[in-house]
Each structure stands twice: as C-alpha cells, then as structure tokens.
C-alpha cells in the first residue's frame, strides 16, 4: 500500500479549562482515495482528533502528520489541499451570499475570475443548490448551510476532506446525494475522506475503513463487516 497521507500516534491536548483529552491506542492512518469513518459515543474524541488534522487544535504531546507537515504549525503549506466541514457549519460560513461563500477560498488562493465562476457553478449544480446561489447565508436552514459548507470545501478539489457529522440535519435524499458526490470525488481526484458519524447506514454503505474510539482510545480499525463481527469483543455502542 502507498505511504499514508495522514498519521497520528498517541496525542494529548489540553483545553483552556484545563480538561486534558488523550487519543491513544491504535495508530490512526489514512491513504489516498481512502474513505475513513470515525465512530464512537459523544465525548470519545472524534472531533478532537479531526480538529488536530487541520491544525485547529495543537497536541501538547504526540505527533500529527498530514501531507508531510505538522498542521498545527504549518497548515498554510497544505491548506489548499485540505477541505473541512465542521460540526456546526454556520461557524465556517463567512460570505454574505452562497456564491460569495463558496468562492471565498478560491479568491483567497488567487484563482482567476473565470475559473472561480466555473468551479463555483459546477459544485452548486452538483449539490443541486442552484436556487440558493444568490441567497443570503443568514436565511439558510441548517441543512442548507451544511450543503454550502461542503460546497466550499469541495470547490478546491482537495486531496483530503475532513467531515465532522457533515450529513447531520440533512434529509435522506440530500444525504444520499452527498454520499454519491463524495464517492465520485474520491475516485476522480483520489480524495481521501475522513468522516465522523454514528450513522450505521452511512458507515456500512460508505466506509472503506472504520475506526472505533472509546473514551479517547482507538480500539478498532477495519472494515464495517469486521467491526460487526467484533462488536461483542469491543463493546460497540453507536448512540
């Protein structure tokens, strides 16, 4: 197998309120075009791990390697190659309109006006949100904000896509559409998708590799089928 593009060993992070979170156990690795799903109960460390991958959290101990750099210190070197949708999509929407928000990263990285228009219109069409193109962000529903945040991440055609409960608040039809788009992106652009969720149907239908986190410890790595076979041994809880 090719060299991993993400590798995380045993890490620790101390939050401002002095709460310390550890993520240890199995080494977390991701390869190109791999679809990886993190599962575990609330508080198990899923979001903490994902935020380390994009440098929004810095480990007090341990090492995080993403595309050959430590994202906590050098994310600017790889920012164009990594997309993220956080749990509360509203936190990352900054443009006044849907079009402006999706175009923001392209403008920031110096794409010309023609290419910006082409890419934004393509991803808007793929996500079936053409009717939202000129709408103010403030008036979007929760599900619509999720779609716009995802469009803003996909428009750069990233090598890695980080998704924290990205399909929450979406109706089944929208969720299935997005899963298809993610599959297509993974195949077409060799995009690795790392997603945190506890939706078993999503895990079963999407994941190449599943990681189980339990109270800050990665206790399982394997396919969904292997996870189900091992659930008694690992005490799997999805709620």
Residue 232 has pLDDT above 90, yes or no: no
CATH for the 6-234 domain, from 3.20.20.60, 3.10.180.10, 3.40.50.300, 3.40.720.10: 3.40.50.300
Instruction: Write out the H or E segment, with its range, that includes residue 229.
Output: helix 224-234
Predicted confidence at residue 166, as pLDDT, reads 87
pLDDT tens across 31-65, in order?
999 999 999 988 899 999 999 999 999 999 999 99
Q: Which two tokens stand for residue 108?
A: 């920031």
Residue (of 58, 57, 78, 76) closest to 66 by Cα position: 78
Cβ–Cβ contacts within 10 Å for residue 1, how many? Answer: 7
Structure tokens at 150: 């995802």
User: What would you measure as the largest C-alpha separation in the chain, in angstroms?
Assistant: 55
| Tokens representing residue 30 in the block | 């991701």
Partner residues linked to 83 by β-bridges = 161
Q: What confidence category does residue 234 fall into, taking pLDDT thresholds of 50, 70 and 90?
A: very low
Q: How far apart are CA 213 and CA 219, in angstroms?
A: 6
- Cβ atoms of 209 and 222 within 8 Å: the answer is yes
Tens-place pLDDT, residues 86-139 = 999 999 999 999 999 999 999 999 999 999 999 999 999 999 999 999 999 999
What digits encode the pLDDT tens for the residues 169-212? 889 899 999 999 999 999 999 999 999 998 888 888 899 999 99
pLDDT above 70 (res 1): no
Q: Which tokens is 76 given?
A: 């600017």
Q: For 222-237, what is the mean pLDDT?
A: 73
Strand 35-39 and strand 192-196: the pairing is parallel
At 238 the pLDDT is: 47
């Amino acid at each position: 197998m090719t060299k991993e593009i993400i590798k995380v060993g045993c890490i620790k992070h101390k939050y401002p309120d002095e709460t310390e979170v550890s993520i240890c156990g199995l080494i977390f690795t991701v390869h190109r075009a791999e679809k990886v799903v993190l599962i575990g109960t609330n508080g198990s460390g899923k979001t903490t791990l994902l935020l380390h991958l994009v440098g929004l959290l810095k480990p007090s101990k341990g090492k995080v390697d993403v595309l050959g750099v430590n994202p906590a210190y050098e994310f600017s070197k790889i920012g164009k190659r990594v997309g993220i949708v956080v749990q509360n999509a509203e936190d990352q929407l900054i443009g006044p309109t849907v079009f402006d928000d999706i175009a923001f990263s392209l403008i920031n990285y110096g794409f010309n006006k023609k290419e910006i228009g082409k890419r934004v219109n393509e991803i808007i069409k793929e996500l079936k949100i053409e009717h939202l193109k000129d709408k103010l962000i403030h008036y979007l529903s929760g599900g619509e904000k999720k779609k716009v945040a995802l469009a803003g991440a996909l428009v750069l055609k990233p090598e890695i896509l980080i998704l924290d409960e990205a399909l929450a608040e979406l109706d089944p039809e929208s969720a299935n559409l997005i899963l298809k788009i993610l599959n297509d992106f993974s195949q077409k652009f060799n995009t690795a998708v790392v997603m945190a969720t506890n939706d078993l149907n999503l895990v079963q239908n999407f994941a190449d590799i599943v990681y189980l986190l339990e109270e800050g410890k990665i206790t399982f790595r394997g396919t969904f089928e292997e996870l189900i076979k091992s659930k008694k041994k690992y005490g799997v809880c999805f709620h």
